[in-house]
Structure 1
Amino acid sequence: MTTDRPAPTPDTPSGAAGGTDTDARSLGRVTIATLIAAASGYLVLLLAARHLGAIGYGVFAVFWAAYGLVTGAQNGQLQETTRAVRATSDGTVRSRPILVNVGIGVGLAALVAATSPLWSGEVFTDERWLSVALLAVGVASFAVYAHLCGALSGMLSWSSFAVLLSVDALIRLAGAVIAVAAGLGTTAFLIITVIGSVSWCLLLLGSSAARRAVGVGGDVPPRRLTANTLTAMAAAAASAVLVMGFPVLINLTANLRGTPDADEARLIGALILAVTLTRAPLLVPLNSFQGVLISRFVDRRDRRIAALIAPLGIVGVIGGVGIVAAWAVGPWLLRSIFGADFDLDGYVVALLTAGATCLALLTVTGAAAIAAGAHRWYAAGWWVATLVAVGMLLIPADVEVRTCVALVVGPLVGLGVHVVGVLRRPAA
């Protein structure tokens, strides 16, 4: 499946010569894999909407969101595994991250199953117990997937990482195409949601680098690795709330002021769509490059601020170009593609793009905090950003002003927390 150069074994340094895969071609594969993953996700949603109809799609979309929220928190496993594996470049192995990650995955699956009587009836209106079972199995499998992503990133085995990312997305897309062609219903799409996470099974069969990544070592003892991973997951949960759950926050805070009238409801719908569209160009690829960023920052942990300048600058420049473009053509694109109901002023679309840029900058500083071992500062930055954003949504102003201010101010405050945490950590 892949032809990576030799990767480090569990008993050799992760950064050893010959165990890396860092040329431009390999990182280009990660970029292509990111685009495949993003396009596949959108196509699955499109196929589901057209095939299932509004009612069936509603059932599927709720489960898709629930699975995304939990696995969004599990991205903390990927982040800490990347840091722990990359930091063993001195050859010191104190733990096996696979054991910690599998333990967390099984524990999370058991928690989902045990607590499901308390919440599943409110969340899953149809296919309730199948949804609970699939969610439990899915998060357990995703723990292994997250481990492999993190281990391969820490080993700088980007070709295998790119294959894993692509296969995960393409399995779901292939399943959706088969379900539509065979006339299958909602149940099939629920299974499709979680089935991609078994891509690690296929990778283990075809990649020797992936098989070595299963047992690769970490730089801290198991207890500390577990604590670090859980802290990273807590931060990733805040990230999932701020990124994936922000449309829900807009609705909730708007409803606190009373039921919106027809004009405000239309405006809220347009804002939610615009928030989603303005984020995708920056956040989708950046999230896939988390392992790349963390590995970079670990390798440069003696000059952390200098290492931050380049990625922050790149994100800032791309975001700046996006802000100008959003102001100039954003409203026209929204009206032309989605209809006259999705009408927003140019400054609103530009500020939403600025908010997406601030979230991207927060993601970069978060990777630096993880790499520096400042896990509590990392979690604090994301939670502070989320709480400040919620607070900004409650200020006395129009909904578009509240939304734009929340998306800019919240992440910038969280970014400041991350930078303080990075500066306070002594260089290893």
Structure 2
Amino acid sequence: MTTDPTPPGPAAAHDLPGESTGRSLGRVTVATVIAAASGYVVLLLAARHLGAVGYGVFAVFWAAYGLVTGAQNGQLQETTRSVRTAGAEGVGRSRPLVVNTVIGVGLAIVVAASSPLWAGKVFTDERGLSIALLAVGVASFAVYAHLCGALSGTLNWAAFAVLLSVDALIRLVGAVVAVAAGWDTTAFLVITVIGSVSWCVVLATSSTARRTVGISGDVTSGRLAVNTLTAMAAAAASAVLVMGFPVLINLTTNLRGTPDADDTRIIGALVLAVTLTRAPLLVPLNSFQGVLISRFVDRRDRRVRSLGAPLGVVAAIGGVGVLGAWLVGPWLLRSVFGADFDLAGIVVAMLTAGATCLGLLTVTGAAAIAAGAHRWYAAGWWVATLVAVAMLLLPLDVEARTCAALVVGPVVGLGVHLIGVLRA
């Protein structure tokens, strides 16, 4: 039984059929809704089942895993660009699967070998298990990211949508089982990484995925590796601002001394609110990275004009979200997650504004990498990250500096990206 209707049989890598724009958007949108809804339910189950303290432990590991795998989104992005360009130009000079697998294994080794330097400052419980799960997870995620990029570059959105859905549903099923069985935080640490094995399921059930996984790229393996590592460097900065931001909040707060009980509660509420306010925009945008990069590659002769529609959609959705967050955000947090998660309306609104700025930065980043402006892409994200860290070090309360970091940093980085796109 297969997950898509493409019949098996031999085919050249770039002869794989793509799909129409409307159909592709529909398939990826459905998969994104599934991923977003599953993510919300996992967070809800974790928060209600583990409580504020347990959720804080889980959220930090979730953020650390997202920090590393977020950097690996550079593999997805460069694979998409390379495969799409190779298909358009009719060339094939490398095998991205080999390059991505080597990078993934190397990254796993780096995580494990460097853990004595940082694990004690990040993981408070289950340290050994957390390190092992992180290393295994990032190695597996390298193949997942490659397959996402290969399917995006060949416009095979049916298999791509299945891959996104399976990844999310594996975690959801795991969370439901954990709550039903009464398992503790340890189970949720395992649940965080098990979705990355979804590529095994898709390769076993989809003939299109099996034929696409070994597709060729437009540049030599050495150049592809350099491009991929550059994209990963930028994606690492992106991951710091997106998935790794709770770790930054903890680290910068601890620099001021041990937080008291009230600060600990506020940080836990902020971590949850940051995650929830981002999901409506950033989960779809991350899912649509392949669509965006393919769009910008196909419209490389009119890059600036092609940016207008995606930026407008993100800004409009974000504006509505800011108003809704101000009016009902605090009530929703208290009603759904409990009295411990209490924040002012202006704080929730500013966190949503920060999520919107990150969304805009994600779109301009996709345009920069599609234009081949890898260094400008990396510079934009790292400038945004450094500015955000500077905001977190301001002599303000944790709520104010968190909001400032999430708004100011991305706006500055967005400007860098636009300069890179114009110069390219």
TM-score by shorter chain over 0.5: yes
Pair 1:32 & 2:35 matched: no
Corresponding residue for 1:241? 240
The equivalences for 1:220-231 within 5 A come to 220-231=219-230
Deviation at 1:103, TM superposition (A): 0.7
The equivalences for 1:10-409 within 5 A come to 11=12, 13=14, 19-48=17-46, 60-88=58-86, 89-124=88-123, 126-182=125-181, 188-257=187-256, 268-338=267-337, 344-409=343-408
What amino acid maps onto 1:3 in structure 2?
D
User: C-alpha distance in 2, partners of 1:264/1:191?
Assistant: 28
Deviation at 1:267, TM superposition (A): 5.1
Quick check: 1:312–1:364 contact (8 Å CA) kept in 2?
Answer: yes
Deviation at 1:243, TM superposition (A): 1.5
User: C-alpha distance in 2, partners of 1:60/1:398?
Assistant: 24
- Describe the superposition over 1:368-426 as per-residue Cα deviations: whole angstroms up to 9, x where unpaired: 1111111111111011001111222333445444333322221111001111111111x
User: C-alpha distance in 2, partners of 1:297/1:383?
Assistant: 22
User: C-alpha distance in 2, partners of 1:399/1:322?
Assistant: 22
SS of the residue aligned with 1:92? coil
Deviation at 1:219, TM superposition (A): 0.8
**CA 1:292/1:116 → structure 2, altered by over 3 Å: closer, same or farther?**
same
SS of the residue aligned with 1:220? coil
User: C-alpha distance in 1, partners of 2:324/2:53?
Assistant: 36
User: C-alpha distance in 2, partners of 1:278/1:50?
Assistant: 18
SS of the residue aligned with 1:19? coil
SS of the residue aligned with 1:219? coil
**CA 1:170/1:268 → structure 2, altered by over 3 Å: closer, same or farther?**
closer
User: C-alpha distance in 2, partners of 1:188/1:74?
Assistant: 24
What amino acid maps onto 2:305 in structure 1?
A
**CA 1:337/1:307 → structure 2, altered by over 3 Å: closer, same or farther?**
same
Quick check: 1:5–1:19 contact (8 Å CA) kept in 2?
Answer: no
Query: Which stretch shows the higher mean deviation, 350-359 or 127-136?
Result: 127-136
- Describe the superposition over 1:294-325 as per-residue Cα deviations: whole angstroms up to 9, x where unpaired: 11111111110011011001111111222232
RMSD: 3.0
Query: Which stretch shows the higher mean deviation, 22-31 or 340-349?
Result: 340-349
User: C-alpha distance in 1, partners of 2:267/2:196?
Assistant: 34
Quick check: 1:283–1:360 contact (8 Å CA) kept in 2?
Answer: yes
User: C-alpha distance in 2, partners of 1:121/1:257?
Assistant: 18
User: C-alpha distance in 2, partners of 1:174/1:327?
Assistant: 33
User: C-alpha distance in 2, partners of 1:288/1:2?
Assistant: 19
**CA 1:338/1:116 → structure 2, altered by over 3 Å: closer, same or farther?**
closer
**CA 1:316/1:7 → structure 2, altered by over 3 Å: closer, same or farther?**
farther
User: C-alpha distance in 1, partners of 2:157/2:95?
Assistant: 21
Quick check: 2:122–2:247 contact (8 Å CA) kept in 1?
Answer: no
Deviation at 1:249, TM superposition (A): 3.0
User: C-alpha distance in 2, partners of 1:354/1:101?
Assistant: 35
User: C-alpha distance in 1, partners of 2:350/2:211?
Assistant: 46
User: C-alpha distance in 1, partners of 2:177/2:273?
Assistant: 31
Q: Quick one: higher RCO (CA 8 Å, sep 6+), 1 or 2? A: 2
TM-score normalised by structure 1 residue count: 0.88
What amino acid maps onto 2:3 in structure 1?
T
Q: What is the percent sequence identity of the aligned residues?
A: 78
Quick check: 1:327–1:350 contact (8 Å CA) kept in 2?
Answer: yes
User: C-alpha distance in 2, partners of 1:275/1:336?
Assistant: 17
- Describe the superposition over 1:313-354 as per-residue Cα deviations: whole angstroms up to 9, x where unpaired: 111111122223233333444454455665544444333222
**CA 1:207/1:312 → structure 2, altered by over 3 Å: closer, same or farther?**
same
Corresponding residue for 1:2? 3
What amino acid maps onto 1:78 in structure 2?
L
Deviation at 1:112, TM superposition (A): 2.4
**CA 1:257/1:65 → structure 2, altered by over 3 Å: closer, same or farther?**
closer
User: C-alpha distance in 1, partners of 2:197/2:336?
Assistant: 36
Pair 1:421 & 2:420 matched: yes
User: C-alpha distance in 2, partners of 1:47/1:346?
Assistant: 24
**CA 1:3/1:245 → structure 2, altered by over 3 Å: closer, same or farther?**
closer
User: C-alpha distance in 2, partners of 1:9/1:235?
Assistant: 37
**CA 1:118/1:403 → structure 2, altered by over 3 Å: closer, same or farther?**
closer
Quick check: 1:250–1:393 contact (8 Å CA) kept in 2?
Answer: yes
Query: Which stretch shows the higher mean deviation, 324-333 or 404-413?
Result: 324-333
Unaligned stretches of 5+ in structure 2?
none
User: C-alpha distance in 1, partners of 2:186/2:338?
Assistant: 32
Quick check: 1:12–1:91 contact (8 Å CA) kept in 2?
Answer: no
Deviation at 1:84, TM superposition (A): 0.6
Query: Which stretch shows the higher mean deviation, 270-279 or 196-205?
Result: 270-279
Deviation at 1:55, TM superposition (A): 7.5
Deviation at 1:20, TM superposition (A): 1.0
